[in-house]
């Protein structure tokens, strides 16, 4: 899994990483750790400030406050600063609707829209410090409202448009949001998602909500509450064309974004204005090597942190042209994404390993219909990318000319932490490795006692110094903030991820530390099992679950989708099992293997492993509101029933 040779991505780089000194990266990283305040002050000066900071950093573990006393505005960074230059007529957003509708917003158009939307919010009584919930599909109004909130100092929380009414209410009530912005509906695979109706159910449970702003997207008739509901189009009739940006304290919250796990109440992650903007502005340049002519497409939903940083705040602060797409990656056909890349001349493409594996499974014929020659750089985000998917991505989408930036980061980190950095120096790449920490990031792999582990040993990934993009707190719950991230290793941020460093210093991310099976006393990560299974030539995608076992504690259950042209059979099942034994060892032998056509996934592309575990264990399936395709769950159930010869399936929650 950990080759010592790098991939030659620049035509002249030595492929043996130990022969490559990486002088520019090494010098910058060393300087950033030796004198972090000087380093980050230099980076911060690349933004526009109303007032310069008094102190670069106040570090009172576990709380870091960056650029203390400084004042700036996120809306100004992403819009105003560009309309004062030639970029005023440059494309800011290429929007593509699921049915093929298009809209193009220049930076001057974006600027005008942000001002008018900010005026709408102010006329409704929203002011600095107030909370606004955004429950919208992937339409231009979503990033515009984010920037409008930032312009007047309101704190936004974007709620993924796949969430249920209860999930909305939980988030709205936690922050006491004053206004919800939604749409009459959204499109997904040709169907209309009734966002307004879902919002109405949430509002019944949310007494803090004074107003619901409705964006017209589908034209469907929706339920209406006079006095509380208002069409955005009507509110814009009286909107002012210019709203002066509010100079915000550097450590004033820019947004609150909720993480949702398999257990426990979602955490409201609070991000600052100054530190967050500085970090992402720098990281975006280092990782993506953005140029004036770049067209950047991050396929994530804006409802996740990847969308916040890599669709809105980082690229727009650079004056980049971005692509915003409303629909599913394979609707109405499997070449939809490739058509969009060709149509808009995308140069930087940033997506998830799950999406790559889905396209791997369908083969290269869909790619061959389109000219992808505009691509210059590829990115991976969301989970560790297995080497087979990396190689396919590099060969068939990048045509062996585009480096891949395999990025590791979290909602809590605010921005990319470990990644290749073409914007600093071309780094020889290893399929499956995120390479090295970005400047300013002091990462280490340690054991349970916090002792740094030697190369080749798996341990816990921690960050030993504060960085500007880090979270300010968990909203309303400082105790949980301390317990979750800082109690395990004092004064170091605990990521909750397994990692390993190889002999060249490259970092390998190995999945969540809590996604570990205990099989007969042996701890084995689900990511390691899945990577081993997918290296079998017939396998397109895998997901590992477990079920209780009286003897071994936990038994391995493997769900498999096959590549196009491969057929399920007992022989193939045996081959895959033997392959796992060979790659990892006898302890990796699965008790059961299920062949399925599709995995249950969220709309953001992540496999819902807890659903698979529930099927295998006969437990309740829990909340399925973020599921992309409910038929996939039924298929998993049928596969289980067929193998076990029983109709005893998990019941719905």
Mean pLDDT (whole number) for 18-40: 89
Q: Is the pTM of this model over 0.75?
A: yes
- Quote the crossing angle between the two packed helices 165-175 and 195-204, to the nearest 10°: 50
Q: How many helices (H) and strands (E) does the chain have?
A: 20, 30
- Whole-angstrom Cα distance, residue 353 to residue 397? 13
Check residue 554 and give its pLDDT: 82
Mean pLDDT taken over the chain? 89
Check the CA dihedral 545-548-552-553 and report its sign: positive
- The three-class DSSP label of residue 349 is strand
Cα 204 vs. chain centroid, distance in angstroms? 30
For 500, phi and psi rounded to 5 degrees?
Answer: -150, 145
Confidence of residue 511 (pLDDT cuts 50, 70, 90): confident
Q: What is the dihedral of CA 111, 114, 119, 120, to 10 degrees?
A: 140
Strands 71-72 and 248-249: antiparallel
| Residue in the block written with tokens 């096959």 | 562
Mean pLDDT (whole number) for 66-72: 98
Asked if residues 147 and 75 have their Cβ atoms less than 8 Å apart, the reply is yes
Mean pLDDT (whole number) for 50-55: 98
DSSP letter at 16? B
Check the CA dihedral 349-351-356-359 and report its sign: negative
CATH for 515-644? 3.30.300.30
Check residue 650 and give its pLDDT: 36
Residue 201 has pLDDT above 60, yes or no: yes
Confidence of residue 433 (pLDDT cuts 50, 70, 90): very high
Residue 632 has pLDDT above 70, yes or no: no
pLDDT tens digits, one per residue of 85-124 = 999 999 999 999 999 999 999 999 999 999 999 999 999 9
Rg (CA), the chain: 24
Residue 49 has pLDDT above 90, yes or no: yes
Confidence of residue 61 (pLDDT cuts 50, 70, 90): very high
- Whole-angstrom Cα distance, residue 388 to residue 357? 9
Mean pLDDT (whole number) for 537-552: 84
Residue 651 has pLDDT above 50, yes or no: no
CA distances from 210 to 11, 160, 380, 614 (A): 59, 21, 40, 40
Task: Write down the H helix ranges in 561-608.
Answer: 570-583
Could you write out the DSSP letters of every residue in 193-247? E-HHHHHHHHHHT-TT--EEEEE-SS-------TTTEEEHHHHHTT--S--PPP-
Question: Which distant-in-sequence residues (6+ apart) come within 8 Å of 27 by Cβ?
Answer: none
- Whole-angstrom Cα distance, residue 77 to residue 85? 13
Residue 262 has pLDDT above 80, yes or no: no
Question: Which distant-in-sequence residues (6+ apart) come within 8 Å of 465 by Cβ?
Answer: 33, 36, 440, 441, 442
Confidence of residue 613 (pLDDT cuts 50, 70, 90): confident
The percent of residues above 90 in pLDDT, for the chain, comes to 72
Mean pLDDT (whole number) for 208-227: 97
Of 344 and 512, the one with more pLDDT: 344
Confidence of residue 603 (pLDDT cuts 50, 70, 90): low
pLDDT tens digits, one per residue of 368-400 = 999 999 999 999 998 889 899 999 999 999 999
Mean pLDDT (whole number) for 263-275: 87
């Amino acid at each position: 899994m950990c080759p010592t040779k790098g991939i030659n991505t620049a035509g002249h780089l030595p492929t043996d990483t130990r022969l490559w000194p990486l002088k520019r990266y090494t010098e910058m990283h060393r300087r950033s750790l030796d004198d972090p305040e000087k380093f980050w002050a230099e980076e911060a000066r690349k933004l526009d400030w109303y007032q310069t900071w008094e102190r670069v950093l106040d570090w009172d573990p576990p709380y870091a406050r960056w650029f203390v006393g400084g004042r700036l505005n996120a809306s100004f960074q992403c819009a105003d600063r560009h309309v004062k230059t030639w970029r005023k007529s440059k494309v800011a957003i290429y929007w593509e609707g699921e049915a093929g509708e298009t809209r193009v917003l220049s930076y001057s158009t974006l600027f005008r829209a942000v001002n008018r939307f900010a005026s709408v919010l102010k006329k409704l009584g929203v002011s600095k410090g107030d909370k606004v919930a955004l429950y919208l599909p992937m339409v231009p109004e979503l990033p515009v409202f984010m920037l409008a909130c930032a312009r007047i100092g309101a704190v936004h929380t974007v709620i993924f448009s796949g969430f249920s009414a209860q999930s909305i209410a939980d988030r709205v009530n936690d922050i006491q949001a004053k206004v919800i912005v939604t749409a009459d509906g959204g499109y997904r695979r040709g169907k209309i998602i009734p966002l307004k109706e879902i919002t109405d159910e949430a509002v019944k449970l949310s007494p803090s909500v004074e107003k619901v702003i409705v964006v017209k997207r589908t034209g469907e008739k929706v339920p209406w509450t006079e006095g509380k509901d208002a069409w955005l189009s009507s509110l814009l009739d009286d909107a002012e064309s210019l709203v002066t940006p509010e100079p915000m304290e550097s450590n004033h919250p820019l947004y609150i974004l909720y993480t949702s796990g398999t257990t426990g109440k979602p955490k409201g992650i609070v991000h600052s204005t100054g530190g967050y903007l500085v970090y992402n502005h720098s990281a975006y340049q280092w990782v993506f090597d953005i140029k004036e002519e770049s067209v950047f497409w991050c396929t994530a939903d804006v409802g996740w942190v990847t969308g916040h940083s890599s669709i809105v705040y980082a690229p727009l602060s650079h004056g980049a042209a971005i692509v915003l797409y409303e629909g599913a990656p394979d609707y109405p056909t499997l070449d939809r994404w490739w058509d969009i890349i060709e149509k808009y001349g995308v140069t930087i493409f940033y997506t998830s390993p799950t999406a790559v594996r889905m396209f791997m499974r369908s083969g290269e014929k869909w790619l061959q219909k389109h000219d992808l020659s505009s691509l210059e750089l590829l990115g991976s985000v969301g989970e560790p990318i297995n080497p087979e998917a990396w190689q396919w991505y590099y060969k068939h989408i990048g045509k062996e000319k585009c480096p891949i930036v395999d990025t590791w980061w979290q909602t809590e980190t605010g921005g990319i932490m470990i990644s290749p950095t073409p914007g600093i120096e071309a780094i020889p790449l290893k399929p499956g490795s995120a390479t090295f920490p970005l400047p300013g990031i002091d990462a280490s792999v340690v054991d349970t006692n916090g002792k740094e582990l030697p190369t080749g040993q798996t341990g816990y990934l921690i960050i030993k110094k504060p960085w500007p993009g880090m979270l300010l707190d968990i909203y309303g719950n400082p105790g949980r903030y301390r317990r979750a991230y800082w109690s395990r290793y004092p004064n170091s941020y605990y990521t909750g991820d397994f990692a390993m460093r190889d002999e060249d210093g490259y970092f390998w991310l190995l999945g969540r530390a809590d996604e570990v099976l205990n099989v007969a006393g042996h701890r084995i990560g689900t990511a390691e099992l899945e990577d081993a299974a997918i290296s079998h030539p017939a396998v397109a995608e895998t997901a590992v679950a477990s079920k209780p076992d009286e003897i071994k504690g936990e038994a391995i259950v493997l769900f498999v989708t096959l590549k196009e042209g491969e057929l399920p059979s007992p022989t193939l099942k045996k081959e895959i099992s033997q392959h796992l034994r060979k790659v990892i060892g006898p302890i990796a032998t699965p008790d059961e293997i299920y062949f399925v056509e599709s995995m249950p996934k969220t709309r953001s592309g992540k496999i819902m492993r807890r659903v698979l575990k529930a099927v295998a264990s006969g437990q309740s399936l829990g909340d399925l509101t973020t599921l992309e395709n409910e038929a996939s769950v039924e298929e998993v159930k049928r596969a289980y029933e067929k193998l076990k010869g029983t109709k005893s399936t998990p019941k719905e929650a």
